[in-house]
Amino acid sequence: MSEIKLKGTPLSPGLSYGYAFTYKTIPFEQRNIVIKTKDVEKELSRLKDAIKKTRESLEKLKDRTKKKLGEEKAGIIEAHMLMLEDPMFIQEIENTIKEGHSAEDAVYTATMKIKKMFEDIPDPYLRERAADVEDVGSRLFRNLLGAKDLESIGREESTIVVASDLAPSELIAISGNNVVGLVLLHGGPTSHMAIIAKSLDLPAVSGIDINTISDNNIIIIDGTKGEVTINPSPETLSQVKRKVEELKKEQEEAMSLKDAPAITSDGFKLKLWGNIAHPNEVSSVLSFGGKGIGLFRTEFLFMNRNNPPSEDEQFEAYSKALAEMNPNPVVIRTMDAGGDKEIFYLNIPKEDNPFLGYRAIRIGITEEGLLLTQLRALLRSATYGNLYIMFPMISSLWEVKRAKDLLRKAARQLKEEGIEQGSAKIGIMIEIPSAALMADELAKEVDFFSIGTNDLTQYTLAVDRGNAKISRWYDHLHPAVLKLIDMTAKAAKKHKIELGMCGEMAGDPLALPILIGMEFDELSMSPPAIPKIKRLTRKTSLGRAKEITQKVLLMKDATEVRTFLEEMTSQL
């Protein structure tokens, strides 16, 4: 077969090659297939085989989860396995088959019935089991249809997963299983799937016609350029193998500087921190030489459950991250729900433009109890380390003042109840153009700014960051975005507050000279990006970075900016 090269959207940087593993998402839904009486035994036999296969795949997943995330998280998979032994669940499926329904429809009907029973239980712990029932039911459903499970990836050879889309949980399930890359149809460069792919150091490209790829095709994926090569020629594959080895050596060189400071050749000190979504990820930041957490995305504690986490549950998560990173800072962002991060128990009505709708701080200052509980947990956890509290999606001055009022209220409550609490620095995300334009006034109210370039770019350029079809319009190096960042940086320096960045731009090597030139105090990124950014920082100078920044701010086109920065960084 001849070599085919496809151009898509870069999601996660890196270069890799391997064999294709095609994965198709199958909706878990009623198929309305009626069977004859003579086929009942056949359907029961199919069910028995599917249960056996599901149990085996869960056993493998439990072992991997235990190795990667520990005994506690493996217990979740253990609960799923026990569900397969539940007489009520299995009997309900068998009875539905005997009533003349296919095994697939019987699994769906029984799953939804028992899920509803759990959802109606007053006890919150038991209510959460509803999600476990649906997970087990959907696994059985896929196995009945003969669909491949991601857990079935078990090749010794390097594997590239090819799929329409992947949920973050699915991506985590396959990580470390000899998967070296992702080729997807859907997904934008700042989607949560892309963010997790970066944290796992997995090259990924979206916007690819996956129907052109078959199982076991050899694939080359360039996540930096957004290119996918199918059935490469021996010459192309040889060149890529050499390049992969070169990149490994570069990474080893960067890792050798893990414990060295991120300081320019003329003495400018830059703090490099990591982004996390769970306290267990603190160790990853430390392993890559990060000296703090610049973004703890707390909304992931609120997702995939039937009720919000309690104050004590949140306190445990926050205090664990703070204690492990102590005395280095941990920036914990209050819940940034809404947009592409659905939390079903909030009962947010479907919106035509969810990214412009009821989300983040707008939920927090409306659903005061939700934010107040989180702020109480944060203040309690502050005794364990160096806490920074950050409010997201700020567009106006009154929102900051209202959020601070709620923080003071939380502190008063804890004091009156005699509960120990600590202190924290207070900051906001600059991710809406109005906040950047109002930065001079907002800086008077807070201790730090952290620029969220993912949303700032999206809102400035009116480009949906999750839409691969219009991704070429999305560019954080657009002159308009850079001018807003410069405006924010100047306001922070004027009022002598800390200036950071936690968007994907923070880990972009091309953007580094600009960010040094604007004298950012800290950059927070996906942990695997830290060593490379540190190595490049030590190769540049503040003086040279300022010269580059001045020239860039006069440019009128993103392509001009990008071409110029590529030339400048190639000289480092």
Spans of all domains in the chain: 4-24+152-249, 39-145, 258-570
Least confident piece of the model among 195-209, 382-396, 404-418 = 195-209
Looking at residue 232, its amino acid is P
Kind and range of the H or E element at 488?
helix 479-494
Same fold, 39-145 and 258-570: no
Inter-residue contact 208 to 8 (CB < 8 Å): yes
123 pLDDT tier (thresholds 50, 70, 90): low
| pLDDT value of position 248 | 87
- How many of the other CB atoms lie within 10 Å of CB of 126? 14
| pLDDT value of position 528 | 85
Q: Give the separation between CA 254 and CA 562, rounded to whole angstroms.
A: 24
- Residue 338: strand pairing partners: 341
Residue 431, marked binder:
yes
DSSP state letter for 263 = B
Q: Where on the phi/psi map is residue 84: left (φ > 0), alpha (ψ -120 to 50), or beta? A: alpha
Catalytic residue among 101, 186, 478, 502: 502
Residue 49, marked binder:
no
Mean pLDDT of the chain: 88
| pLDDT value of position 10 | 85
Catalytic residue among 80, 101, 192, 476: 192
Query: Span 93-110, mean pLDDT?
Result: 94
| pLDDT value of position 243 | 93
Q: Is residue 380 predicted with pLDDT exceeding 90? A: yes
Question: Which segments of 227-339 does DSSP mark as H helices, in order?
Answer: 234-255, 282-287, 299-302, 311-325
Strand arrangement, sheet containing 15-23: 4-7, 227-230, 218-222, 15-23, 159-163, 179-184, 204-206, 9-12
Tokens of 488: 């924010």
Q: Is residue 533 predicted with pLDDT exceeding 80? A: yes
Q: Give the separation between CA 309 and CA 319, rounded to whole angstroms.
A: 15
Q: What is the pLDDT of residues 15-31, one digit of tens each?
A: 999 999 998 878 888 98
Q: What is the pLDDT of residues 436-463, one digit of tens each?
A: 999 999 999 999 999 999 999 999 999 8
Q: What is the pLDDT of residues 129-180, one digit of tens each?
A: 676 788 788 889 988 988 876 666 666 789 999 998 876 557 766 766 789 9
Is residue 192 flagged as an active site residue?
yes
Encode burial over 2-32: b for 16+ CB neighbours within 10 A, e otherwise. Answer: eeeebebbbbbbbbbbbbbbbbeeeebeeee
Please report how the helices 479-494 and 453-461 are oriented relative to each other, as an axis angle in degrees rounded to 10.
130
The three-class DSSP label of residue 189 is coil
Q: In angstroms, how far is CA 374 from the centroid of its own chain?
A: 21
The CATH architecture that domain 258-570 belongs to is Alpha-Beta Barrel (3.20)
pTM score, whole prediction = 0.73
Inter-residue contact 450 to 429 (CB < 8 Å): yes
DSSP state letter for 315 = H
Please report how the helices 368-381 and 311-325 are oriented relative to each other, as an axis angle in degrees rounded to 10.
40
CATH topology of domain 39-145: Enzyme I; Chain A, domain 2 (1.10.274)
Query: Span 356-381, mean pLDDT?
Result: 92
CA dihedral sign, ordered 421, 424, 429, 430: positive
Q: Give the separation between CA 454 and CA 17, rounded to whole angstroms.
A: 29
Q: Is residue 561 predicted with pLDDT exceeding 60? A: yes
| pLDDT value of position 357 | 80
Residue 297, marked binder:
yes
Inter-residue contact 485 to 436 (CB < 8 Å): yes
Q: Looking at per-residue confidence, does 258 or 493 come out higher? A: 493
Is residue 476 flagged as an active site residue?
no
Inter-residue contact 220 to 236 (CB < 8 Å): yes
201 pLDDT tier (thresholds 50, 70, 90): confident
Q: Is residue 125 predicted with pLDDT exceeding 60? A: no
| pLDDT value of position 540 | 95
| pLDDT value of position 263 | 97
Nearest Cα to 223, choosing from 253, 257, 194?
194
| pLDDT value of position 155 | 63
Query: Span 234-249, mean pLDDT?
Result: 92
Inter-residue contact 33 to 244 (CB < 8 Å): no
Query: Span 48-76, mean pLDDT?
Result: 75
Residue 333, marked binder:
yes
Q: How far is CA 529 from CA 197, 429, 519, in A?
A: 12, 21, 20
Inter-residue contact 250 to 44 (CB < 8 Å): no
> Under CATH, which number does the domain 4-24+152-249 receive?
3.50.30.10
User: Which backbone phi and psi does 261 adopt, to 5 degrees?
Assistant: -70, 150
CA dihedral sign, ordered 447, 522, 187, 298: negative
